[in-house]
Amino acid sequence: MASPLSLLPAVEAVPFVRDLAAHGDRPAILTKDGQISYADLAGRVARTAERLGVGRRLVLVVGANTVDSLVAYLAALHAGHPVLLVPDGHDTAVASLVEAYDPDVVIGPAGGWRVEHRRAGSAHDLHPDLALLLSTSGSTGSPKLVRLSRTNVQANAEAIGEYLGIRDTDRAATSLPMHYCYGLSVVNSHLARGAALVLTDLSVADACFWELFRQTRATTFAGVPYTFDLLDRVGFAAMDLPHLRYVTQAGGRLAPERVRRYAELGRHAGWDLFVMYGQTEATARMAYLPPGLAAHHPAAIGVPVPGGAFRLAPVPDHPDPAVGELVYAGPNVMLGYAETPADLALGRAVEELHTGDLARRTPAGLYEIVGRRSRFAKILGLRVDPEQVEALLAAHEVTATCVGGDDELIVAVVAAADPRRVRRLVADEVGLPPRAVRVLALTELPRLASGKPDLAGLRALATAPRTTATPAGDEPSPTAPVGDLCRLYAEVLDRDDVRPELSFVELGGDSLSYVEMSVRLEQELGHLPANWHTLPIAALRAPRRPGGRRRSLETSVALRTAAIVLIVGSHIPLFTLTGGAHLLLAVAGFNFARFQLTTAGRRDRLRQIGAGLARIVLPTVAWIGAVMLVTDQYRPSTLLLVHSIVGPGDATGWHFWFVEALVYLLVALAALLALRPVDRLERRYPFALPLGLTVLGLLGRYDVFGFDARHDLPAALVAGWLFTLGWAAARADNVGRRLLVTVAAALTVPGFFGQPAREALIVAGLALLVWLPTVPSLGLVNRIAGVLAGSSLYIYLTHWQVYPHLRDWPLVALAASLVVGIGYAVLAGRVGRWLTHRFSTLR
């Protein structure tokens, strides 16, 4: 029996489209609503093709990741109509292309998916080989299009299918838009191999994307560099994706260290990473890096795709004679460009593609990109023409000079322009996310003596540290402009790479810097937004309060302040209210969950834990060593932080039990989380895991095995459950979980010491930690608390050598202990920054 498509008049069609029905009842499309077989898809394509007729016409199709859009695209290709594929959701760009090319048919969403026949025949002279028109400049509506033939489309689909080894059992999630040549190549190559498409417009940052991915047993997805930023944020490394076979990356350079990391991640998890290189002018792909080479050659784009070849054209005056312009030849090279409807009648004008990229060939036979010859830039996988952006802004009466940065488009405007308006215009019409558009408001645009734009000068302005000036276009809050907050973050974290789209956690903030940051941020904003440490700087806003600003203090900071004062005051003794150190242990667990257990990959987490350990161990050992040089107060076991294990039980041996316990716990947890299954377990059950560890820790608290743990075992085994309970408190994100943590504290802390006041202090502190993110305060109290909490470790270390000399004056002893500890914190901070800068300079 004839297939549905064979009933149409015989016309030139792209072979894989013509042969859709040959795959029979195999699944072709899977969505959240069900699946469509190849036979069903072929029928839908046939019916739409019949509506388009047999006389060749220019068909504009809005390229959305929907069944209707896919069917329209395939139907036009099958019926031999050249397809102008345009972006979905960019009405201005679509209108611009409709005006420029006057398509005969427009297919897109307009009160439902609709086929609009603008005329019975065609207004154009269409070359017989022309099959597809794609934009190279994102969503600007640029009239410059790439002309592709049926041979181009088919050849590239076959080449991609060959080097990826696509099977008819594969299922590719549409993680990129269909109008983008990379996203379209995923569609073409999988349909050419009889594989299935998991059709969705969800982002990889959306949990529903991964639910659909698992539900449909998807085997692959594609990503541009920004996709991998999102994967890091959503904890991709720990996801359980049993059917994932390979991941592809193109659309811009992925940093070599990230290529290596993802290649290793794939190797351990059982999937391959294909790094690829391409341009719209080559239909999609020109090169790929075999997965086995990614870990050792992460900077390479690899080798040409099957059927293609590279050569390096000499570049005059280039300092490296081994570098040339990368030139590609193959059956997927475009026919040429189109800039007006008259160009649609042209045949082949290009035999080989001058990519505009500078490259070299390595001794291993792999190609590496080392730079660009033109102003075109690839930003987050989107090829952007800065000149087209300038023209777009000129149409809105904005004079601008644009240049591409590493991960952003730099737009320089004169100060009279509204940076926020410019940013929105560019982001909306180019298709870039706002975070990738940086607007510089300047007194005048940089120009050369010839009057031409000074692009080098603009790049110099763009690469200057962002903390030296407020980045225009980042919408400020009423009382704290984002630029001011960036400078504040840079000062507190001692970093020069602070950007508005980054959060405190993403910038490497930890529990020590958190204290200063929370206090100073509250001072700037007048309040502390919930979970501010995970919010991008640009998302922090000061509320408008007609009655003035009520001050507050972050609860963990208040508890650290109170605890260190209680510890020192009780040791003097100025008063006797113990329990502060054990409360600090719970707060440490709370902060461990917030600053070490981020959404970053497993290795990054371990690096964060290691850095946290260093910030505890180094100042501790330095202080104990200094004391040992001038007194005989401590032993080598104290210096090595093993006194609670090896003894002896002398009078000063217990001084640093808290530090030892904290170090042992962090080392043990780092070892545990280094195991991939445990890391995955924590990400999947972030509340249940610390609660389970608390149950295990209670074995030591209740001396289940009869070891007289209260005296013979290290404090980490006896009191470690307080740390994990604090960890669970940080993960208690609903009322039920908060109640569970509170009840657990109320049941397990009493009886631990046999001192009701001490136990009540710890239970009350944990309850505050669970239920109140902030506590009411005063500006002066906040500043004092910030200094004390930030110096709490150093005060704990040094007070043993201060207060004994001043016991006759208890208040003086307390003040002196606090001041010396604060001084040591300042000294340690300066030494730490000096060492960091010293090592970075040496590298």
Q: Which residue has the higher pLDDT, 649 or 827?
A: 827
CA-only gyration radius of the chain, Å: 32
The rounded distance, in Å, linking the Cα atoms of 554 and 594 is: 14
Q: Is the dihedral of CA 525, 530, 532, 536 positive or negative?
A: negative
Q: Has residue 832 got a pLDDT over 90?
A: no
Percentage of the chain beyond pLDDT 90 is: 55
Q: Tokens 């690899």 — which residue?
A: 302
| Chain centroid to CA 192 | 33
pLDDT for res 693: 96
241 with 266: CB under 8 angstroms? Answer: no
Calculate the alpha carbon distances from 6 to 42, 49, 257, 578 in Å.
10, 11, 51, 87
pLDDT for res 2: 43
Per residue in 572-613, pLDDT (tens digit) is 999 989 999 999 999 999 999 988 887 667 887 888 899 889
The rounded distance, in Å, linking the Cα atoms of 525 and 19 is: 62
What does the pLDDT average to over 318-340? 92
Element (H, E) at 594: helix 580-595
Q: How many CB atoms lie within 10 A of CB 464?
A: 12
Per residue in 525-563, pLDDT (tens digit) is 766 776 777 777 877 765 444 444 567 888 998 999 999
The rounded distance, in Å, linking the Cα atoms of 599 and 597 is: 7
Element (H, E) at 387: helix 386-395
Q: Is the dihedral of CA 318, 321, 323, 327 positive or negative?
A: positive
What does the pLDDT average to over 204-208? 89
pLDDT for res 546: 42
Selection from 445, 371, 447 nearest residue 413 by Cα:
445
Q: Has residue 473 got a pLDDT over 50?
A: no
- For residue 835, what pLDDT band results from cuts at 50, 70 and 90? confident
The 3-class SS string of 449-515 reads CCCCECHHHHHHHHHCCHHHCCCCCCCCCCCCCHHHHHHHHHHHHCCCCCCCCCECCCCCCCHHHHH
The rounded distance, in Å, linking the Cα atoms of 491 and 485 is: 10
Beta bridge partners of 16: none
Decide: residue 735, CB within 10 A, 0-12 exposed, 13-18 middle, 19+ buried.
exposed
H helix runs in 635-687, sequence order: 636-639, 643-646, 657-673, 676-684
**Both tokens assigned to 667:** 């080392």
The rounded distance, in Å, linking the Cα atoms of 749 and 42 is: 68
pLDDT for res 658: 93
What mean pLDDT, rounded, does the chain reach? Answer: 86
Non-local (6+) Cβ contacts of 138 within 8 A are: 87, 382, 383, 384, 430, 431, 432
Order across the sheet with 409-414: list the strands: 400-404, 409-414, 437-442
Selection from 194, 170, 217, 215 nearest residue 26 by Cα:
194
pLDDT for res 205: 87
22-26, 89-93, 754-758: segment of lowest average pLDDT: 89-93
178 with 187: CB under 8 angstroms? Answer: yes
Question: Could you please report the per-residue DSSP string of 614-649?
Answer: HHHHHHHHHHHHHHHHH-SS--HHHHTT-HHHH---
Q: Tell me which range, 124-133, 136-145, 506-515, is most confidently predicted by mean pLDDT.
A: 124-133
Q: Has residue 246 got a pLDDT over 90?
A: yes
Non-local (6+) Cβ contacts of 690 within 8 A are: 589, 593, 724, 725, 727, 728, 731
- Domains of the chain (ranges; CATH) run 4-370 (3.40.50.12780), 377-464 (3.30.300.30), 482-550 (1.10.1200.10), 555-831 (no CATH)
pLDDT for res 3: 45
The rounded distance, in Å, linking the Cα atoms of 815 and 821 is: 10
What does the pLDDT average to over 803-825? 94
Calculate the alpha carbon distances from 656 to 534, 653, 800 in Å.
32, 7, 10
- What three-state secondary structure class fits 402? strand
Q: Has residue 43 got a pLDDT over 90?
A: yes
129-138, 388-397, 707-716: segment of lowest average pLDDT: 707-716
What would you measure as the largest C-alpha separation in the chain, in angstroms? 106
Query: Nearest 5°: CA angle at 461, between 456 and 465?
Result: 135
Per residue in 92-139, pLDDT (tens digit) is 888 889 999 999 999 998 767 889 999 989 999 999 999 999 987 655
Residue type, 824: Y
Residue type, 390: E
pLDDT for res 342: 96
The rounded distance, in Å, linking the Cα atoms of 208 and 810 is: 60
Decide: residue 250, CB within 10 A, 0-12 exposed, 13-18 middle, 19+ buried.
buried
**Both tokens assigned to 820:** 């010396």
Residue type, 529: P
Element (H, E) at 775: strand 774-776
